[in-house]
């Protein structure tokens, strides 16, 4: 390693199975199956107030002119039927029983030929019916009734007496309306399953069907041969093939789970088993058996990678896995790519997931703040390059020389890449609760370096600063280094409490280091999975921005050679303190000294310098001192934005303390000034004025402000006389034209006064608080 100069359970989980599974193939002309009459399903005298029916199916021919029945039970008076007509799937349920309210519902949903679908009907409390396709609600009715008993056997793949949306089919017609396609995993429950329950289990076999409450039939088609479809529930309601013409058995391609049949892109249907569309729903469960590239943001419930297979998440893309990941292919089975366009990300919650993580550094020989995304990283990731850590007690960067040094999860480091743009981590991805202890606060350090510690995002995904629990002894915000080459001037900062600051610092990128500030010694910071998000992905160069329209936030930027190199924020927050507040404010962390820096002061006595300054809504005449740290003489520009986010009675006036010039920012938000080496850092004051609506102000020549026991004029030369009265009408001060100048000192005790100013033929009267 080189050095550099100072730089400002064990869980029992169900694995996605590789065991051979089968489905039933029906020919559309003679083949069907049935479930015998059972009190569990159809012959109970009391009927059924709750019922959930689920099925996976794939229609092979939608050109058939007749209806194709997937499942039916009951008859013309009382029943349930799931059938296809042309290119629609119909969910049907009805009741026309004596002494009960007559009701029926037929809900059509469009489908495609050759595509697997999961369908579900849910009757709840004999009152409402909901229907689902692929886990999404696609309709329902709120005026349902109970599902009464019936004696006809339950049919799969045809019907013998039923009801369609336009007619009743009597049982005397015999078995007909055959289904042409494939069926798998039929489940019948005597309870109303919730949307979450349907989604949780539709893409997997039930872990223990025999112990599931009120699961009265579960036909998984796992036999592969014979004439019986065994019921996996504890109720023994087996299915049987028709004795005259049996359906055929075939290896199932139903997405239980989704599984790849070829290498290629995740979004390509050709990668997945026949009839499976590319997985795109949050609750899909996915098994990777080949080499698959992910080139879009995706979310799934469960992910399994087979030995010898791989999943590569491409740059700028994020994969969110809600449940478990099983990577049986080791480090090379899960790859997080990176390029000049950005990083990739994985949001997960499984321990000990092996992976390869690439991190791209856009600019060589520039400093970056990083943090290892794996738990077993060593310094040799940056062999023969510059790698340092920040030591707060000594106020210096210390080089790491030994390549076998462990890089600590959640610890931040500084690296300057010289040997190539990409760093590669191989090992176990960080996950879960990670605590960094022993953070330092050294009271003897100067205020600009006191309490600053370098930490890092330990995860292979973005974290939101607004979600971090900092505690009372850590300033609730983050400062990140922008790494923008020549234009790197200072840190970006975001305050959690104020909800204000640089948008680039609001979200910490995967493997990104950032600075936090303590207010007492020996603190700890814990990172949790709920800080992680599956959005706002960018690069280590912190080029990601978002439009933030926060109320009551003023941003003032300093520009050099038409490039904005630093900025400071002033915001109004009702609960803000007049003193420094860990929750609302952030101290200024100064960057490279070759660039101009801008900041505000808490007050002129403490000299505390802030990059984000939250104050309670001020009164007219109050002000905030602004400072500049500039090391080169020349012309500079200040620009203000955000005035529109305040009430229209709020005006901001910038006072240049060197030349006594006033700038009304609501009229001209650009201020150009010259700096000479040796000028005071406290160059400007930001004045607050609520005296009148911005739309009703006088002309520029008439304007004056009373501030800090002085009177300032927009045009001092135009004023011929000033008279100041107290609240009972006594004249306290009188100034003639030859006495009037910019910054006129009035020398009065703090109080409200009436100021009368003469501008030619016009008289201006202003009530002001002098202090």
In a domain, residue 485? The reply is: yes
pLDDT bin (cut points 50, 70, 90) of residue 465 is very high
Amino acid 544: pLDDT: 55
Higher pLDDT, 16 or 516: 516
Residue 487 has pLDDT above 60, yes or no: no
Residue 484 has pLDDT above 90, yes or no: no
Residues 131 and 153 in one domain: yes
162-163/154-156 β-pairing? unpaired
Of the listed ranges 44-48, 519-523, 547-551, the one predicted with least confidence = 547-551
pLDDT bin (cut points 50, 70, 90) of residue 565 is confident
Residues 737 and 669 in one domain: no
CB 587 within 8 A of CB 619: no
Residues 101 and 49 in one domain: yes
Residue at token pair 């210096």? 396
Amino acid 605: pLDDT: 79
E strands, 575-643, in order: 586-587, 597-601, 609-615, 623-629, 634-641
In a domain, residue 57? The reply is: yes
In a domain, residue 449? The reply is: yes
CB 80 within 8 A of CB 72: yes
Residue 355 has pLDDT above 70, yes or no: yes
Residue 761 has pLDDT above 50, yes or no: yes
Q: What is the pLDDT of residues 85-104, one digit of tens each?
A: 999 999 998 877 655 556 78
Amino acid 7: pLDDT: 33
Residues 385 and 333 in one domain: no
Who's near 533: CB < 8 A, 6+ residues apart?
Answer: 347, 461, 462, 463, 464, 467, 507
Tokens in use for 321? 């896995």
Residues 682 and 728 in one domain: no
Amino acid 304: pLDDT: 99
Mean pLDDT score, 286-311: 98
In a domain, residue 2? The reply is: no
Domain end, chosen from 288, 305, 337, is at: 337
Range of the structural domain that residue 641 is part of = 549-564+583-697
Residue at token pair 């990283």? 377
Amino acid 707: pLDDT: 74
Amino acid 15: pLDDT: 43
Amino acid 543: pLDDT: 57
Mean pLDDT score, 459-476: 97
Beta-carbon count within 10 A of 728 CB: 5
In a domain, residue 343? The reply is: no
- What three-state secondary structure class fits 471? coil
Strand partners of residue 751? 770
In a domain, residue 763? The reply is: yes
Mean pLDDT score, 580-594: 89
Residues 228 and 266 in one domain: no
Mean pLDDT score, 112-125: 96
Residue 12 has pLDDT above 50, yes or no: no
Q: What is the pLDDT of residues 257-295, one digit of tens each?
A: 999 999 999 999 999 999 999 999 999 999 999 999 999
C-alpha distances (whole Å) from 186 to each of 225, 231, 236, 241, 472 are 17, 10, 14, 15, 55
Amino acid 70: pLDDT: 98
Residues 109 and 191 in one domain: yes
CB 263 within 8 A of CB 291: yes
pLDDT bin (cut points 50, 70, 90) of residue 725 is very high
CATH number of the domain bearing residue 118: 2.60.120.200
The count of domains in the chain is: 5
Sign of CA dihedral 84, 85, 86, 87: negative
Who's near 381: CB < 8 A, 6+ residues apart?
Answer: 372, 407, 423, 424, 425
pLDDT bin (cut points 50, 70, 90) of residue 202 is very high
Q: How far apart are CA 292 and CA 304, in angstroms?
A: 12
Q: What is the pLDDT of residues 421-437, one digit of tens each?
A: 999 999 999 999 999 99
Domain end, chosen from 191, 224, 251, is at: 251
Q: How far apart are CA 333 and CA 311, in angstroms?
A: 6
Residue 108 has pLDDT above 90, yes or no: yes
pLDDT bin (cut points 50, 70, 90) of residue 691 is low
CATH number of the domain bearing residue 768: 2.60.40.3080
Averaged pLDDT score across all residues of the chain: 90
Please provide the size of the chain in residues: 771
Residues 402 and 474 in one domain: yes
Q: How far apart are CA 16 and CA 20, in angstroms?
A: 12
Q: Looking at residue 649, what DSSP letter applies?
A: T
Residue 769 has pLDDT above 80, yes or no: no
Amino acid 97: pLDDT: 62
Domain end, chosen from 251, 281, 314, is at: 251
Of the listed ranges 65-74, 458-467, 656-665, 695-704, the one predicted with least confidence = 695-704
Residues 427 and 478 in one domain: yes
Residues 65 and 155 in one domain: yes
In a domain, residue 706? The reply is: yes
C-alpha distances (whole Å) from 6 to each of 94, 390, 399, 480, 584 are 79, 10, 10, 17, 30
Residue 685 has pLDDT above 50, yes or no: yes
Q: How far apart are CA 277 and CA 384, in angstroms?
A: 47
Amino acid 80: pLDDT: 86
Mean pLDDT score, 579-596: 89
Amino acid 701: pLDDT: 44
Q: With pLDDT > 90 as the criterion, what percentage of the chain qualifies? A: 69
Mean pLDDT score, 94-122: 85
Amino acid 595: pLDDT: 83
Mean pLDDT score, 651-668: 87
Residues 266 and 297 in one domain: yes
Q: With pLDDT > 70 as the criterion, what percentage of the chain qualifies? A: 91
Residues 137 and 192 in one domain: yes
Residue 698 has pLDDT above 80, yes or no: no
In a domain, residue 268? The reply is: yes
Higher pLDDT, 545 or 331: 331
Amino acid 692: pLDDT: 45
CB 264 within 8 A of CB 278: no
């Amino acid at each position: 390693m080189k050095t550099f100069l100072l730089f400002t359970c064990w869980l029992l989980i169900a694995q996605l199975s590789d065991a051979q599974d089968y489905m039933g193939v029906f020919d559309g002309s003679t083949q069907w199956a049935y479930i015998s009459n059972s009190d569990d399903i159809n012959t109970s005298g009391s009927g059924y107030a709750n019922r959930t029916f689920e099925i996976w199916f794939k229609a092979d021919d939608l050109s058939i002119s007749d209806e194709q029945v997937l499942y039916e039970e009951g008859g013309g008076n009382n029943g349930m039927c799931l059938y296809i007509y042309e290119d629609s799937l119909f969910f049907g349920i009805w009741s026309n029983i004596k002494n009960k309210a007559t009701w029926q519902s037929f809900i059509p949903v469009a489908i495609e030929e050759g595509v697997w679908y999961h369908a579900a009907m849910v009757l709840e409390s004999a009152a409402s019916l909901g229907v689902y396709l692929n886990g999404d609600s696609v309709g329902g009715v709120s005026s349902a009734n109970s599902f009464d008993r019936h004696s006809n056997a339950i049919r799969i793949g045809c019907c013998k007496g039923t009801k369609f949306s336009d007619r009743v089919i009597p049982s005397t017609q015999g078995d007909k309306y055959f289904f042409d396609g494939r069926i798998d995993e039929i489940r019948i429950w005597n309870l109303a399953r919730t949307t979450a329950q349907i989604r949780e289990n539709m893409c997997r076999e039930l872990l223990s069907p025999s112990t599931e409450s009120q699961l009265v039939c579960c036909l998984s088609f796992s036999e592969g041969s014979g004439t019986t479809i065994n019921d996996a529930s504890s109720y023994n309601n087996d299915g049987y093939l028709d004795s005259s013409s049996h359906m055929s058995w075939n290896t199932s391609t139903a997405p239980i789970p989704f599984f790849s049949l070829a290498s290629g892109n995740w979004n390509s249907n050709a990668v997945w088993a026949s009839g499976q569309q590319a997985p795109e729903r949050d609750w899909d469960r996915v098994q990777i058996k080949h080499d698959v590239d992910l080139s879009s943001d995706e979310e799934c419930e469960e992910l399994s990678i087979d030995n010898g297979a791989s999943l590569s998440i491409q740059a700028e893309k994020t994969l969110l896995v809600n449940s478990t990941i099983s990577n049986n292919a080791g480090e090379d089975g899960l790859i997080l790519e990176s390029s000049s366009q950005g990083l990739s990300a994985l949001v997960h919650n499984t321990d000990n997931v092996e992976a390869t993580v690439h991190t791209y550094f856009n600019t060589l020989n520039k400093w970056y703040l990083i943090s290892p995304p794996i738990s077993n990283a060593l310094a040799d990731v940056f062999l023969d390059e510059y790698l340092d850590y920040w030591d707060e007690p000594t106020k210096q960067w210390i080089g790491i020389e030994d390549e076998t040094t462990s890089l600590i999860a959640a610890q931040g480091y500084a690296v300057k890449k010289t040997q190539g743009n990409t760093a590669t981590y191989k090992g176990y991805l960080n996950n879960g609760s990670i605590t960094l202890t022993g953070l330092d606060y050294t009271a003897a350090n100067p205020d600009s370096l006191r309490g600053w510690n370098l930490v890092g995002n330990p995860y292979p995904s973005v974290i939101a600063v607004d979600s971090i629990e900092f505690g009372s002894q850590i300033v609730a915000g983050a400062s990140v280094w922008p790494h923008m080459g020549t234009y790197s001037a200072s840190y970006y900062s975001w305050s959690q409490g104020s909800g204000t600051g640089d948008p680039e610092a609001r979200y910490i990128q995967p493997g990104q280091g950032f600075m936090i500030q303590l207010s007492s010694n020996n603190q700890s910071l814990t990172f949790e999975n709920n800080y992680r998000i599956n959005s706002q992905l960018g690069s280590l160069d912190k080029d990601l921005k978002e439009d933030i329209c926060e109320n009551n936030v003023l941003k003032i930027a300093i520009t050099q050679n038409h490039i904005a190199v630093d900025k400071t924020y002033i915001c109004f927050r009702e609960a803000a303190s007049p003193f420094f507040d860990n929750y609302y404010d952030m101290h200024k962390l100064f960057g490279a000294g070759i660039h101009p820096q801008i900041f505000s002061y808490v007050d002129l006595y403490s000299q505390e310098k802030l990059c984000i300054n939250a104050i309670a809504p001020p009164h007219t005449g109050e002000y905030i001192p602004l400072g500049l740290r500039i090391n080169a003489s020349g012309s500079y520009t200040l620009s203000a934005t955000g005035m529109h986010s305040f009430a229209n009675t709020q005006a901001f006036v910038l006072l240049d303390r060197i030349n006594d010039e006033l700038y009304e920012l609501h009229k001209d938000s650009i201020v150009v000034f010259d700096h000479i080496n040796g000028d005071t850092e406290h160059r400007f004051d930001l004045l607050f004025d609520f005296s009148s609506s911005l739309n009703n102000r006088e002309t520029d020549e008439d304007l004056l402000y009373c501030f800090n026991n002085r009177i300032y004029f927009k045009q001092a030369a135009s004023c011929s006389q000033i008279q100041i009265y107290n609240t009972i009408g006594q004249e306290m001060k009188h100034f003639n034209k030859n006495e009037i100048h910019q910054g006129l000192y009035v020398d009065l005790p703090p109080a409200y006064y009436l100021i009368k100013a003469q501008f030619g033929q016009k008289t201006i009267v202003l009530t002001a608080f002098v202090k």
